[in-house]
């Protein structure tokens, strides 16, 4: 594809690849054996968004599969290509897709999380959540951060907190996306467990960032799963007297956040 001068044909071919990776019933390994992933990664950095978009989407569809498939993308300079989008180019059409891919990479083993830390993706994702004006980009970046904590080691988790990941995720606790709020709360619970080995340093930071106030506010959330998670975190880490049920709290407040 790199050698044709027909960019319309290139665009069609790239979208075709993306659809194949998303919908084919063929084993992914067999499909990847027939494609030059280095070429696909090169298209991600193309100066025409019409070509970069399908190439990036194709990489993303590959990364929704196994850790082995993700490794093949990484081995084909895929992370460098994604880094160009996230760290340099920052095109608003490409950024959400790139963050989605990073989210799938982050959901892998600690080795993949380490790649994101070392290559400054965590710090950049945190800033996207905290400062980007587009809600869709903030959401995708936050998912990438939350997934980074799923399999991270204790030391990686603390490193990411130092790169503003906790502050960024706490800022999304007001999101109307209940699944995202649950993911953030799951991360908070994990960090609180880790903090038991750090003498309360992380809990102090959590409180200074408004985390405790946010949890107390979420007791009025209409989503029962969110309420239950909040109560669990508060009970395990603050030993608060939570005598009212979710229904009683909602009734007394006269309303609640929507899911």
Range in 37-46, 63-72, 231-240 with the lowest mean pLDDT? 231-240
Mean pLDDT of the chain: 91
pLDDT value of position 198: 80
Whether residue 2 has pLDDT greater than 80? no
pLDDT value of position 259: 38
What is the DSSP track for the chain?
A: -TT-S-HHHHHHHHHHHHHHHHH--S-HHHHHHTS-HHHHHHHHT-S-HHHHHHHHHHHHHHTTS-HHHHHHHHHTTHHHHHHIIIIII--TTTHHHHHHHHHHHHTS-HHHHHHHHHTTHHHHHHHHHHH-S-HHHHHHHHHHHHHHHHS--HHHHHHHHTTTHHHHHHTTTT-S-HHHHHHHHHHHHHHHHHHTTTTTHHHHHHHHTTHHHHHHHHTTBS-HHHHHHHHHHHHHHH-----S-HHHHHHHHT--B--
Residue range 209-219: mean pLDDT, rounded: 95
Name the percent of the chain lying above pLDDT 90. Answer: 81
Whether residue 241 has pLDDT greater than 60? no
The residue that leads in pLDDT, 28 or 36, is 36
User: Residue 201: which pLDDT band, with cuts at 50, 70 and 90?
Assistant: confident
Can you list the domains of the chain with their CATH numbers?
A: 1-172 (1.25.10.10), 177-259 (no CATH)
Q: Report the predicted TM-score, pTM, of the whole model to 2 decimal places.
A: 0.89
pLDDT value of position 258: 46
């Amino acid at each position: 594809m790199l050698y044709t001068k027909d960019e319309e044909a290139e665009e069609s071919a790239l979208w075709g690849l993306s659809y194949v990776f998303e919908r084919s019933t063929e084993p992914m390994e067999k499909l990847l054996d027939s494609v030059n992933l280095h070429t696909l990664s090169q298209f991600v950095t193309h100066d025409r968004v019409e070509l970069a978009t399908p190439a990036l989407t194709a990489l993303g569809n590959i990364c929704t599969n196994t850790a082995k498939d993700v490794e093949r993308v990484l081995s084909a300079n895929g992370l460098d290509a994604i880094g160009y989008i996230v760290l340099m180019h920052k095109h608003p059409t490409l950024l959400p897709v790139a963050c989605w891919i990073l989210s799938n990479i982050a959901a892998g083993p600690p080795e993949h999380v380490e790649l994101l830390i070392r290559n400054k993706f965590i710090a950049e994702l945190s800033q996207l959540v905290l400062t980007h004006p587009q809600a869709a980009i903030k959401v995708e970046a936050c998912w990438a951060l939350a997934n980074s904590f799923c399999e991270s080691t204790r030391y990686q988790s603390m490193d990411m907190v130092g790169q503003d990941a906790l502050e960024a995720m706490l800022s999304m606790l007001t999101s109307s996306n209940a699944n995202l709020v649950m993911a953030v709360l799951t991360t908070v619970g994990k960090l609180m467990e880790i903090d038991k080995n750090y003498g309360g340093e992380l809990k102090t930071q959590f409180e200074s960032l408004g985390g405790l106030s946010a949890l107390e506010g979420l007791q009025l959330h209409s989503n029962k799963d969110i309420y239950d998670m909040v109560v669990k975190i508060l009970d395990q880490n603050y030993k608060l007297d939570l005598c009212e049920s979710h229904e009683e709290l909602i009734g007394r407040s006269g309303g609640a956040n929507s899911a």
